Amino acid sequence: MKNFALLGSVAGAALVWAVPAWAQDEAQEDNQPPISTAAARSDIIVSASRSGLLESTVSYPGSVTLITAEQLDNRQTRDIADVLRDVPGVAVAGVAGQTQIRLRGSEANHVLVLVDGIEVSDPFAGEFDIGTLQAEPGARLEVLRGPQSALYGSDAIGGVVAYQSASGRDLYGLAARIEGGTQGTINGALRYGAAGNSWDAALSAVVVSTDGQPNARGGTRDIGRDSYTLAGKGSVNVSDTFTLRAAARLIRTEGQTNDSDFDTTSPTFGFIIDSPGVSFTNEAIYALVGARLDTLDGRWTHDLSAQIANVNRETDSPFGITSASEGDRFKASYVSALAVADDHNLTFAADYEVEGFRNATPGGFVFDARREIEQVGLVGEYRYSGEAFDLSAAIRHDINDLFQDATTVRVGAGYRITETTRVRAAGGSGVKNPGFFELYGFVDGRFIGNAALRPEKSTGWEVGLDQQFGRSTSLAVTYFDSTLEGEIFTTFPPPNFIATPANRTTESRQRGVEVSLAARFGRTWSLDTAYTYLDAEENGIEEVRRPKHIASAALTWEAPDEAASATLVVRYNGQTPDVAFTDPSFVPVRVQLEDYTLVNFNAQVRLTDGLSAFARVENLLGEEYEQVFSFVSPGRSAVVGVEAKF
């Protein structure tokens, strides 16, 4: 199969959407870059199709949320995980060293995360630590909800989160910010973008450093971290029809963490306790290169790309390394997109992907052999965009070397009843292959793998209504329903009660309602709100870390001349079930985490044309809360800083 894949399944458009290389090369002043099509539109979705063609939210038949660069700036977003709390259908749960996101009640490893078109999940865990993704100046975010496996294959049961840094055309010149505050916080970002008639380039660096706060109940040990991101991207128009592009990113995070109390005679057994000397280090390197050829006057495009990911994770104690893993991924893609007519588009894509993993924990008690999983995916997609009616359909067939081959589909349609009212519906299927540690185990005597695991399979559908009120207010309401079969869970079979994964024989069901409202009041005020009701159950039992109610509201004031701005963000997270390992048998015990409300406030004032000062307070009310059992989340913090743009 490997020879077949290498010869016949080279792969496709991972970053074609992220770099507007096909931008207009219009006449320009000497100090002004050409304006790209992508930069000129704020409602485009670049991850909703494999064609690489930009799609508007007004014609997309599924559920999508766009968070613009302006919104990230207004909310002074530093961790992308924080702003995801403002997206309908998204639940966030984070601790030191791992922050998870769940879409519509799916598992964390059911969400595909793309950064500048690159798949960034850890091949070992099968998910991405979203807590390591820092916001860069000019970046934007897209969240597609609902099964997307028909486009992207395994990992996209719940949806796709796509982060895009700004190109040299989108944000031209130099941008820098520096801030400091409580808990020894010092954060900084530096970015430079440049562009000419036939090229663009951007370089950025982000540093996030804090001494942190205690995260154990009654603990006194501060849990700090240092996170560093270096990134670059660019493109060159070799001719009017041929473009080369590249992107690369390094993310390194170092921090302290705490362990559970493993003393069965202790009253805090199973709880997180202060653990001096315990720390973690996560490092990831990502890169992508690609080429695009336009033929038939741009109506038929061909895109070839290759990307790599290399992820290393390590946990240390005063006695040495306690766990470590090495994961890598190579993916190649070919995408051919043909505009049959003004309203009809056909796309074919072929993906070849190989993931590798090795348990690098020292000692003779771990399963440390290197393992690989290989996959070939073939995609067909059709899209129609009419004046009142929109339709999209996609089908994908995955050829797996370890599992049964899988076919997934997605169909969606939207109809504009009036100029201000639109109804839409979408449905599809998804698949998630077992991960390495689930198949092969991790630590002998503590977690035993199960090579007989089957892929998880999901089917889901949604119906929605989009309503525009005047020119300044929009409302979106969506009902969704999905069913997961063969869910992989951890079981503790007698007589030894050693943890091992298995496929459930019962069904897991997720259904609920998402509501979002965006309103603009004159030129100075804007309000963005979101609410999610979720009913996620497995065999009638509520699933963990999925609150029934999540809501957020962001109110922004901007001075008419942009001389100042202020934003108030309120986020509510309802009661959440979780599991605790407080029984000496290590069989999990169900617990309930209390609901909480977080209030953030920030303000910014322009000092000169290129210099601004800002300040913010997070968790303004000093709420005490836990996102994961017995891990206490950060309390109140405050920072002040300056930002310059040239």
pLDDT tens by residue, 441-460? 766 667 788 989 999 999 99
CB atoms near residue 482 (< 10 Å):
26
Give the confidence band of 3 by pLDDT, cuts at 50, 70, 90: very low
- pLDDT over 90 (residue 440): no
* Bridge partners, residue 186, by sequence: 180, 209
- pLDDT over 50 (residue 16): no
Round to whole Å and give the CA distance between 140 and 165: 7
Round to whole Å and give the CA distance between 565 and 184: 26
CA count, 13 A, side-chain hemisphere, 59: 21
Give mean pLDDT, residues 6-35: 34
Give mean pLDDT, residues 471-496: 92
pLDDT tens by residue, 119-171? 999 998 889 999 999 999 999 999 999 999 999 999 899 999 999 999 999 98
Round to whole Å and give the CA distance between 568 and 238: 47
- pLDDT over 50 (residue 262): yes
pLDDT tens by residue, 488-529? 998 888 777 788 899 999 999 999 999 999 999 998 999 999
Element (H, E) at 39: helix 37-40
Strands 159-164 and 111-115: parallel
Q: Which residue has the tokens 């979002």?
A: 516
Highest mean pLDDT, choosing among 71-85, 429-443, 483-497: 71-85
Which stretches of 392-498 are DSSP H helices?
Answer: 436-440
- pLDDT over 90 (residue 57): no
Round to whole Å and give the CA distance between 319 and 329: 31
Residue among 160, 164, 128 nearest 251 (CA): 128
Residue among 600, 588, 523 nearest 558 (CA): 523
Q: Which residue has the tokens 């100090």?
A: 31
pLDDT tens by residue, 601-646? 999 999 999 999 999 999 999 999 999 999 999 999 999 999 999 8
Round to whole Å and give the CA distance between 56 and 474: 15
Round to whole Å and give the CA distance between 312 and 334: 28
Residue among 65, 140, 67 nearest 464 (CA): 65
* Contact residues for 602 (Cβ-Cβ < 8 A; gap 6+): 75, 76, 566, 567, 614, 615, 616, 617
Strands 300-317 and 272-273: unpaired
Percent of the chain with pLDDT over 90: 79
Residue among 476, 473, 480, 543 nearest 508 (CA): 543
Residue 177 class from Cβ within 10 Å (0-12 exposed, 13-18 middle, 19+ buried)?
Answer: buried
pLDDT tens by residue, 534-553? 999 999 899 999 999 999 99
pLDDT tens by residue, 399-429? 999 999 999 999 999 999 999 999 999 999 9
Give the pLDDT of residue 42.
Answer: 60
Give the confidence band of 24 by pLDDT, cuts at 50, 70, 90: very low
State pTM to two decimals: 0.91
Cα–Cα distances in Å, from 375 out to 206, 242, 372, 408, 565?
A: 34, 29, 10, 14, 49
DSSP secondary structure letters along 54-93: -EETTT--SEEEEE-HHHHHHTT--BHHHHGGGSTTEEEE
- Identify the residue with better confidence: 233 or 436: 233
Give mean pLDDT, residues 572-577: 97
Give mean pLDDT, residues 58-77: 92
> In whole numbers, what is the pLDDT of the chain averaged over residues?
90
Give the confidence band of 255 by pLDDT, cuts at 50, 70, 90: very high
Round to whole Å and give the CA distance between 106 and 104: 6
Give the confidence band of 35 by pLDDT, cuts at 50, 70, 90: very low
Number of H helices, E strands in the chain: 6, 40
Give mean pLDDT, residues 71-85: 96
Give the pLDDT of residue 163.
Answer: 97
Give the confidence band of 37 by pLDDT, cuts at 50, 70, 90: very low
CB contact at 8 A, 367 and 347: no
Q: Which residue has the tokens 């009638």?
A: 540
Residue among 77, 209, 181 nearest 138 (CA): 77
Fold of 2-645: Maltoporin; Chain A (2.40.170)
Residue 43 class from Cβ within 10 Å (0-12 exposed, 13-18 middle, 19+ buried)?
Answer: middle
